[in-house]
Structure 1
Amino acid sequence: MKNTYYYCIAALALLSVSACKSKSQKQGAAMPPTPVNVIEAKKSDALYYDSYQGTVAALNNVELRSQVSGFITDIFFKEGTVVKKGTPLYEIDRRKYEAAYQQAKANLVSARANLNKAQKDIDRYNMLLKNDAVARQTVDQASATYETAKSQVDVAKAGVESAATDLSYATIKAPFTGRIGISQVKLGAQVSAGTTLLNTISSENPVGFDVVINEQDINRFYKLQKSYTDTTFRLQLPDGSNFGESGQIFAIDRGVNDQTGAIKVRVQFPNPSDQLKDGMSGVLKVLNDDSGDRVQIPYKAVTEQMGEFFVFLSKDTIAKQVKVKLGPRIQSNVVIMEGIKPGQKIITEGFQRLRDGGKITLGKPAGASQGQGAGGDKGGAQGK
């Protein structure tokens, strides 16, 4: 019995030692704090833009067509150059139009001569009528002849004006100052009135830039039409560079397309160096309404999970994961619209293996140079 008691005591001692050893091993296996780098979230001026694809449009663009028929006898311009308003561009064979003009003038001279004769006849018959030396019927006929002669003069004048107009149309002139394109006809080509395209001329300074916006943005653009600054409208060129001039709204279309729910807006830009060409594509940058003094943090501090974005905050020795709403990327930073306040400590490196509530310590994280956030080396989140 006594031996049994000793055996029980020994067994309990062994169990106690084993439990203490197991507890000691568990404590030794606990994860050490994760070294991290942190920065303080700060507010700074953030100007960012919404993007709209569009095309350059000349404010004045005209297709040149002849108003009379004939053969091209002269071309006076160099293709692709700027021509001034009223400059002769093409000439159509003038001979028959000059002949028609001369004939019309001759007809006018003849009509005026007939009117002069009719005037003298009516004056003479009226004098004879006072002396009762001529029949009333003869006077009436002379009056009718006089009125007919007057109308023939009017017809002849109209003929002269019509012939002069046709003759002027034989020389096609620039309707405004602009750049003319490549000629669609050559010397000796036959053209038909109103149908044959000769060329196209476009104004160049200023120019418009056309974009299509959603009807939900109409009120925003109406406000921008009344109030804008030099930073409100910017233009990005096809090669990715920024156009050096700022724009302003030229016109908002009269109505919304009932099929697409969209409306066209034209923004006007100065074009002193003729850098913008009619039909050129580009991106209109419109200053976002949320621009201003905003919290910004390095984009590499952001992680993405299931389409949502998170940041780790440093709370003494504890990492706390918070959900954030991102604004646009500004170089290596990103604007934080919601979720972070100025002065909070943001973990920028070493958070790759962190969990919410994990222990941290300040220090150089292992492999920090390779760590990447949600953006990495790729494009970042877009703004509104």
Structure 2
Amino acid sequence: MYPFAFAVARYLSILVVFSFVGTCALAQQAPPAAVAVGTVAAERKPIERSGTLVGRIEAVQRVEVRARVTGYLEEVLFKEGDLVKEGAPLYRIERGLFEAAVTAAQAALDRSKAAKVLTEIQFKRAQELLDKATGTAVARDQALAADQQADAQILSDQANLETAKINLGYTEINSPIAGKIDKTNITKGNVVGPNSGVLTTIVSQDPMYVSFPVSQRDYLEARERSAKFGKVKVKIRFSDGKTYGQIGEINFVSVSVSRSTDTILARATIPNPDGVLIDGQLVQVILESGEPEEKVLVPQAALIADQAGTYVFVVEDGKAVVKRIKIGAEIGADVVVDQGLKGGEQVIVQGIQAVRAGAPVQAAPLPKTIDRS
């Protein structure tokens, strides 16, 4: 009886083992569950080639206002930070001494003219006496010299009068250009003069310049694409990431290359009707040139990076497939794909964390305007 019971027990244990092995095999053959993901189609669209540089805003006209005569400052005639017109009065210097100088110069000129009348008469008399043989050549020559000296004195006194009038005019300092005026460095009650330094500064507002260095390589590529570098469109992006609405045009390229940086200085003119651009402001300069090229765009949210580079997951035959890509410029929330995609691929942008290469996925196309983060 015992040998029979042992045989039965052994048979039952073998059945249990085969049953367990069969269950494991079935478990391994069961397909994994598909991961739900959101996709966006890789879009082909015409993109203008562009490059980003660092530039600085410069006023087309910039004037440092200085006093040209020495005197007591009676009035400051402007409000700091305001827009001023060309010719607008800015400062007024005490006029009394300069008006007196004009009067004195005028009196000296009148004396010279009166002396001229006398020397002219004396010369004529000396010449007449010489002609009648009753006078001498020496007397005539002396009278001629005195008359010529009177002419010279008139010229000198006329010049002094003009100088006095000019200096009187300098007592009112007017704006030489239209633009925005800075704060005043000297206030009413001080004595100002040519050695007082800059009284204030005025910068023109519209248009503005933006100057930026361009590498030789970028310059040559841009010139080749657009035939002339001057046809390149210039856009500006501020430090907060916002793009300025106006478009500029290049109006100057330096005639030489910087030996220290191997760059060429370029300058563009850009409209500034609302005064948004400020002299000295540091900005990003975006250069767009040549005809638009067909490029593939994908959302930045789809990008994944590893040691081998950048890639995205696309859906093919219900599975997640890795596509290695080479990316270019950023355009808003999208990025240009220079290599790796042809366009039309369903790129995974949601649920990426749970996706593995070759794993089944259940794709749901997302609207273009949806938040893909």
Instruction: Bin the TM-score by the shorter chain.
Output: 0.7 to 0.9
| CA distance 1:54–1:193, change in 2 (3 Å) | same
Does the 8 Å contact 1:68/1:194 carry over to 2?
A: no
Q: Is the aligned partner of 1:188 residue 2:189?
A: yes
Q: Is the aligned partner of 1:227 residue 2:231?
A: yes
Q: Which amino acid aligns with 1:197?
A: V
| CA distance 1:55–1:39, change in 2 (3 Å) | closer
Q: CA deviation at 1:72?
A: 0.3
Q: 1:191 and 1:340 mapped to 2: Cα distance?
A: 71
- The count of aligned residue pairs is 349
2:203 maps to 202
Q: Secondary structure at the match of 1:144?
A: helix
When structure 1 is superposed on structure 2, of 216-225 and 321-330 the one drifting more is 216-225
| CA distance 1:202–1:350, change in 2 (3 Å) | closer
Q: 1:344 and 1:275 mapped to 2: Cα distance?
A: 42
Deviation per CA, 1:75-95, whole angstroms, max 9, x where unpaired? 222222222212221122222
Q: 2:350 and 2:26 mapped to 1: Cα distance?
A: 27
Q: Secondary structure at the match of 2:168?
A: helix
Q: CA deviation at 1:149?
A: 1.5
Q: 1:78 and 1:207 mapped to 2: Cα distance?
A: 23
Q: CA deviation at 1:290?
A: 8.3
Q: CA deviation at 1:53?
A: 3.0
1:284 maps to 285
1:123 maps to 124
When structure 1 is superposed on structure 2, of 331-340 and 47-56 the one drifting more is 47-56
2:6 maps to none
Q: 2:280 and 2:42 mapped to 1: Cα distance?
A: 45
Q: Which amino acid aligns with 1:325?
A: K
Q: TM-score, normalised by structure 2?
A: 0.80
Q: Which amino acid aligns with 2:145?
A: A
| Cα RMSD, aligned residues only | 3.4
2:4 maps to none
Q: CA deviation at 1:189?
A: 0.5
2:112 maps to 111
Q: Is the aligned partner of 1:138 residue 2:139?
A: yes
Deviation per CA, 1:262-304, whole angstroms, max 9, x where unpaired? 3433322222222222233333232266853211233343321
| CA distance 1:23–1:260, change in 2 (3 Å) | farther
Q: 1:63 and 1:212 mapped to 2: Cα distance?
A: 26
Q: Show the 5 A alignment for 1:138-177.
A: 138-177=139-178
| CA distance 1:305–1:187, change in 2 (3 Å) | same
| CA distance 1:42–1:235, change in 2 (3 Å) | closer
Percent identity at matched positions?
26
Q: 1:130 and 1:27 mapped to 2: Cα distance?
A: 149
Q: 1:40 and 1:27 mapped to 2: Cα distance?
A: 37
Q: Which amino acid aligns with 1:321?
A: V
Q: CA deviation at 1:253?
A: 3.6
Q: TM-score, normalised by structure 1?
A: 0.78
| CA distance 1:298–1:75, change in 2 (3 Å) | closer
1:95 maps to 96
Q: 1:335 and 1:20 mapped to 2: Cα distance?
A: 56
Structure 2: runs of 5+ lacking an equivalent: 1-13, 367-371
Q: Which amino acid aligns with 1:87?
A: A
Q: Which amino acid aligns with 1:276?
A: L
Q: CA deviation at 1:192?
A: 2.7
Q: 2:296 and 2:325 mapped to 1: Cα distance?
A: 11
Q: CA deviation at 1:320?
A: 4.6
Does the 8 Å contact 1:225/1:248 carry over to 2?
A: no
Q: 1:134 and 1:252 mapped to 2: Cα distance?
A: 76
